[in-house]
């Protein structure tokens, strides 16, 4: 169990770094993986929501990559 928690913490860290580098689609995969294990992970929930919003803005042409 502890190993799974540590692995998912690592996934959150990597996904957050992808988000910060504006790789929103890739980061969403990591956040979704974490949420499949821990549906209430606040960091993953927050950044997944933010990534979805950023992608929507990009598609609307309101934000550059």
pLDDT at 63: 55
Parse the chain into domains and list their residue ranges: 2-59
pLDDT at 50: 98
Q: What is the rounded distance in angstroms from the CA atom of residue 53 to the CA atom of residue 34?
A: 19
Helix locations, 1-65, DSSP H: 2-20, 24-37, 42-59
pTM of the entire predicted model: 0.83
2-59 has which CATH code? 1.25.40
- Distance from the first to the final alpha carbon of the chain: 38
Nearest to 24 by CA among 60, 49, 61, 45: 49
Quickly tell me which residue has 């502890």 as its tokens.
2
pLDDT in tens, 12-52: 999 999 999 999 999 999 999 999 989 999 999 999 999 99
Burial (0-12, 13-18, 19+ Cβ within 10 Å), 59: exposed
């Amino acid at each position: 169990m502890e190993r799974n928690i540590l692995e998912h913490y690592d996934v959150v860290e990597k996904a957050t770094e992808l988000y910060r580098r504006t790789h929103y689609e890739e980061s969403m995969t990591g956040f979704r993986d974490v949420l499949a294990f821990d549906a209430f992970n606040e960091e993953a929930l927050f950044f997944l929501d933010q990534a979805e919003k950023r992608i929507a803005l990009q598609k609307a042409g309101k934000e550059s990559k």
